[in-house]
């Protein structure tokens, strides 16, 4: 028994008519009867193609300003009837319900209306009722009905009916039904999130996913769900990998801390900054960022808070790096950076990032507010008799921004707005500090006059003692330990400045 069904009748009610004309003309060639309403009905008529108004089927006009048009038993009966069910067949004849083999819908643009900043009244009017009901009905009855639920599916549908002369297999119909439920669930999620004020309820839907070469490792499948093109314009290079995307995410969040600062350049590896500097020119910022750890910079992700000029590009081109990100480039800079075939060059667009962070955990999800606190002078409380100098204060805030965006436990050492070294992802804060000092010494940095940032408080004075002995003269930390006085007393005795921010910046 054949599972193919040939379309003989179609109900079309769409918001977007882009790409609809060739479908209507092809169906007309295949002797399909059209039913429609409102603007779509006029569209079909203007093509010189016969169309039956829905009102002629229902014997009921469009009412309530067009809010109620297709919501009628004769329409939904035509869509939902089971053609192999004796009772359904009898009732179709009894109530003179026309068979509808195909439904084409494109919903009101709810998300675009919200994004446009429209009034609540305009947004409410863009909640589609008839369209979403038609989609669900036709998708449910995919055994007998074809559903095309979005303008994004017009091209695929046209290809199928052209190749198969208006006949769709059961597999075809089920695939279109699956896409339809994706459209309807995404639409409803967007509406729910517009109304929802309860943080204990979480719903998310991403319309399209991108297949990655693989996941974190080659034996793992990987996908990215998001609008990458809204965030970046890709100018050159290979496709981004799962790990590239994680590093790019870390880079974007880090450089956001320095968005309005002087030229700042950062180099990241495995989600952590291995080099970062703020200078009067981008070239100088890059060179001093690279000096922070030229070994780790190999194969890293580079990001700037301003335009990359030709001179900076020449310096970057000497380094093997995976990704370069900036809000803009000189034309010559692009040419230079493009000399490496696989190097990914991204222009970062200025868009609002999500304010919720989500990650899988056990058999569920963890959701939290994004850490939007950037420590500034107003947050600082000097807790020692020796206050930090103005230069030390600038370095402390500089180090704090990096520390906030580095894996815990972390210690960041900085001097003259340059990342000297950091200890990252350690199980002990003392180990993190020792790692940072050892790394700084290995690259011949003079720690005398450097500052230290910690992502959490010191429960004992051991860290400030080790830091002081290494030459560090100022410390920034959140404070809050019941033994804060031990660290404060050590700093007072040794003329080390220490400030509290009152805000912890763990990053796990």
The DSSP line for 370-382 is: -------GGG-EE
Express as a percent the part of the chain with pLDDT over 70.
100
- Residue 53 sits in a domain of what CATH number? 3.40.50.1380
The predicted structure's pLDDT at residue 2: 59
Are 336 and 386 in a shared domain?
no
213, 347, 358 from 218: Cα distances, Å: 8, 28, 24
d(CA 310, CA 440): 30
Q: Which domain holds residue 226?
A: 221-346
Q: Which of the two residues, 59 and 355, has the higher pLDDT score?
A: 355
Pick the catalytic residue from 8, 140, 236, 307. 140
Rounded to two decimals, the pTM is 0.88
Between the two ends of the chain, the Cα-to-Cα distance in Å is 58
Q: Does any domain span residue 358? A: no
Residue 5 annotated among the catalytic residues of the structure: no
The predicted structure's pLDDT at residue 240: 93
Are 142 and 84 in a shared domain?
yes
Residue 140 annotated among the catalytic residues of the structure: yes
d(CA 411, CA 459): 14
The predicted structure's pLDDT at residue 1: 42
The predicted structure's pLDDT at residue 71: 80
The predicted structure's pLDDT at residue 342: 94
Mean pLDDT to the nearest integer, 339-352: 95
pLDDT at 56 over 90: no
The predicted structure's pLDDT at residue 308: 98
Matching residue, tokens 């330990």: 481
Compute the C-alpha angle 74/76/82, nearest 5°. Answer: 105
Q: Does any domain span residue 362? A: no
- Residue 323 sits in a domain of what CATH number? 3.40.140.20
The predicted structure's pLDDT at residue 184: 95
Are 61 and 188 in a shared domain?
yes
Are 45 and 180 in a shared domain?
yes
Q: Does any domain span residue 207? A: no
Least trusted range by pLDDT, from 84-88, 110-114, 119-123 = 84-88
Count of structural domains, the chain: 3
The predicted structure's pLDDT at residue 69: 77
Q: Does any domain span residue 365? A: no
Alpha helices by DSSP H, listed for 405-461, are 429-442
Residue pLDDT, tens place only, 460-492: 999 999 999 999 999 999 999 999 999 999 999
pLDDT at 257 over 70: yes
Are 152 and 256 in a shared domain?
no
Do the bridges between strand 146-148 and strand 102-106 make them parallel or antiparallel, or are there none, so unpaired?
parallel
Residue pLDDT, tens place only, 360-406: 999 999 999 999 999 999 999 999 999 999 999 999 999 999 999 99
Are 284 and 165 in a shared domain?
no
Are 172 and 311 in a shared domain?
no
247, 266, 325, 466 from 242: Cα distances, Å: 9, 20, 17, 38
Confidence of residue 178 (pLDDT cuts 50, 70, 90): very high
Residue pLDDT, tens place only, 185-196: 999 999 999 999
Are 169 and 46 in a shared domain?
yes
pLDDT at 302 over 60: yes
| Residues in the chain, overall count | 508
Mean pLDDT to the nearest integer, 88-94: 86
Do the bridges between strand 52-53 and strand 33-36 make them parallel or antiparallel, or are there none, so unpaired?
parallel
Q: Does any domain span residue 157? A: yes
Q: Does any domain span residue 364? A: no
**Nearest C-alpha neighbor of 488 from the set 456, 446, 454, 458:** 458
Are 290 and 411 in a shared domain?
no
The predicted structure's pLDDT at residue 88: 82
Pick the catalytic residue from 270, 307, 314, 379. 270
The predicted structure's pLDDT at residue 68: 76
Mean pLDDT of the chain: 94
The predicted structure's pLDDT at residue 168: 94
Mean pLDDT to the nearest integer, 492-506: 97
- State how far Cα 186 lies from the chain centre: 16
Are 86 and 229 in a shared domain?
no
Matching residue, tokens 């020792």: 434
Express as a percent the part of the chain with pLDDT over 90.
87
Q: Does any domain span residue 200? A: no
Mean pLDDT to the nearest integer, 87-102: 88
């Amino acid at each position: 028994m054949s599972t193919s069904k040939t379309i003989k009748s179609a109900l079309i009610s769409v918001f977007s008519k882009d790409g609809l004309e060739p479908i209507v003309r092809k169906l007309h060639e295949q002797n399909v009867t059209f039913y429609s309403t409102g603007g779509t009905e006029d569209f079909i008529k203007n093509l010189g193609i016969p169309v039956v108004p829905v009102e002629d089927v229902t014997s009921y006009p469009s009412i309530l300003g067009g809010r109620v048009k297709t919501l009628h038993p004769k329409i939904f009966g035509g869509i939902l009837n089971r053609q192999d069910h004796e009772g359904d067949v009898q009732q179709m004849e009894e109530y003179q319900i026309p068979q509808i083999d195909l439904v084409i819908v494109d919903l009101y643009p709810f998300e675009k209306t919200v994004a446009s900043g429209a009034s609540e009244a305009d947004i409410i009017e863009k909640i589609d009722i008839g369209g979403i009901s038609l989609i669900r009905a036709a998708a449910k009855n995919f055994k007998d009905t074809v559903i095309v639920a979005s303008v994004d599916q017009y091209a695929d549908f046209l290809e199928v009916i052209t190749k198969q002369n208006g006949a769709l297999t059961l597999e075809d119909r089920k695939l279109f039904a699956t896409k339809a439920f994706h459209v309807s669930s995404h639409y409803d999620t967007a509406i729910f999130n517009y109304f929802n004020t309860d943080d204990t309820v979480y719903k998310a839907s991403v319309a399209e996913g991108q297949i990655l070469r693989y996941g974190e490792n080659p034996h793992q499948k990987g996908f990215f769900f998001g609008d990458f093109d809204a965030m970046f314009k890709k100018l050159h290079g290979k496709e981004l990998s799962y790990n590239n995307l994680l590093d790019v995410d870390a880079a974007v969040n880090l450089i956001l801390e320095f968005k309005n600062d002087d030229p700042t350049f950062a180099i990241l590896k495995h989600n952590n900054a291995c080099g970062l500097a703020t200078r009067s020119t981008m070239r100088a910022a890059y060179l001093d960022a690279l000096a922070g750890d030229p070994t780790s910079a190999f194969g890293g992700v580079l990001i700037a808070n301003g335009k990359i000029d030709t001179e900076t590009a020449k310096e970057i081109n000497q380094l093997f790096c995976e990704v370069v990100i900036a809000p803009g480039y000189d034309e010559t800079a692009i040419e230079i950076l493009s000399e490496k075939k696989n190097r990914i060059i991204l222009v970062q667009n200025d868009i609002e990032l999500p304010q919720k962070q989500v990650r899988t955990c056990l058999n569920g999800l963890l959701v939290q507010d994004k850490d939007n606190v950037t420590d500034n002078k107003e947050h600082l409380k000097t807790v020692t008799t020796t206050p930090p100098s103005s230069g030390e204060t600038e370095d402390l805030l500089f180090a704090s921004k990096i520390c906030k965006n580095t894996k815990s436990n972390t210690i960041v050492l900085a001097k003259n707005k340059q990342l000297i070294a950091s200890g990252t992802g350690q199980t002990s804060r003392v180990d993190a500090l020792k790692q940072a000092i050892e790394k700084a010494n290995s690259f011949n940095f003079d720690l005398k006059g450097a500052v230290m940032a910690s992502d959490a408080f010191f429960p004992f004075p051991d860290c400030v003692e080790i830091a002081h002995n290494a030459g560090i003269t100022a410390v920034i930390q959140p404070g809050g330990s019941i033994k804060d006085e031990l660290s404060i007393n050590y700093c007072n005795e040794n003329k080390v400045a220490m400030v509290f921010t009152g805000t912890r910046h763990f990053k796990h």
